[in-house]
Amino acid sequence: MIYQCVIFIVTAYLLGSIPFGKLIAKRVARINITQRGSGNIGATNVARELGITWGLVTLLLDMLKGFLPVFLYAHYILQAGIEFETCLSAIGLSALLGHQFSIFMRFRGGKGVATAIGIYLVISPLACLIAVIVFILTVYKWDFVSLGSMLAAIVMPGLLALFGKSQPFVTTSIIVAALICFKHKGNIKRLVKGKERKWRGEINQPNRSRSRSNSSSE
């Protein structure tokens, strides 16, 4: 099982490293998304620059980065126990690290929220659903995607513990939350200064001419 686990970990990282947002922007609008809006390759920046449809496509593909390797391993290696769960957690974390620190982008990348959703959909769909609700309510209330993303990530360890998930899953979710918050460090500074860009009103009008402003969340 260790050999198979290592193969899945490496594959998950390589899959996570594929910069779908950048590829979509290049194909659809012939732009370098890393030089537009926030410079981020994630769904939020793609949606702001290309429109909600392409943002959703990017969101789905980034979710699949986390979902596919974890799902396939969970259903291919039909085992249980702490070793299996530790490996499953490592595979999910590897996919996230691939997205956040892509080997194809000189170890830069997105913020990992969508990829984390894909991971949690396999580990605990109910906990994932609650976290998504936290995200939606936060964005609805305060209009900051970055704040909603971080809060959703932060509540996941508690939700997994509440639903009786094992220590490897809970520990990994803490690491995931820390990584997501780390990738949002610029957003945190802008939130404190009151300069973070709000979501509502912007997404309906994609802007393909705006230069990089470094204020997106995903």
Residue 211 clears pLDDT 80, i.e. is over it:
no
pLDDT band at 146 (very low <50, low <70, confident <90, very high): very high
Residue 201 clears pLDDT 60, i.e. is over it:
no
The angle at the Cα of 81, spanning 79 to 84, to the nearest 5 degrees, equals 60
Q: What is the pLDDT of residues 2-30, one digit of tens each?
A: 889 999 999 999 999 999 999 999 999 99
Q: What is the mean pLDDT of the chain?
A: 92
Strand partners, 108: 102
pLDDT at 207: 59
If you search the block for the tokens 């520990």, which residue do you land on? Answer: 171
Structure tokens given for 26: 């290049």
pLDDT at 200: 74
Is the separation of the CB atoms in 109 and 217 below 8 Å? Answer: no
Q: Which residues contact 94 (CB under 8 A, 6 or more apart)?
A: 9, 10, 12, 13, 16, 69
pLDDT band at 79 (very low <50, low <70, confident <90, very high): confident
pLDDT at 206: 55
DSSP state of 201: T
For 115, phi then psi, to 5°, come to: -65, -40
Is the separation of the CB atoms in 217 and 184 below 8 Å? Answer: yes
Mean pLDDT of 32-36: 95
Residue 175 CB coordination number (10 Å)? 14
CA-CA distance, 136 to 148, in Å (whole number)?
7
First to last CA, the chain: 34
Residue 213 clears pLDDT 70, i.e. is over it:
no
CA-CA distance, 98 to 117, in Å (whole number)?
15
Residue 189 CB coordination number (10 Å)? 11
pLDDT at 212: 52
CA-CA distance, 171 to 126, in Å (whole number)?
18
Least confident of 33-47, 54-68, 87-101, 153-167: 33-47
Least confident of 94-98, 194-198, 201-205: 201-205
pTM for this entry: 0.91
Is the separation of the CB atoms in 88 and 173 below 8 Å? Answer: no
Mean pLDDT of 49-73: 97
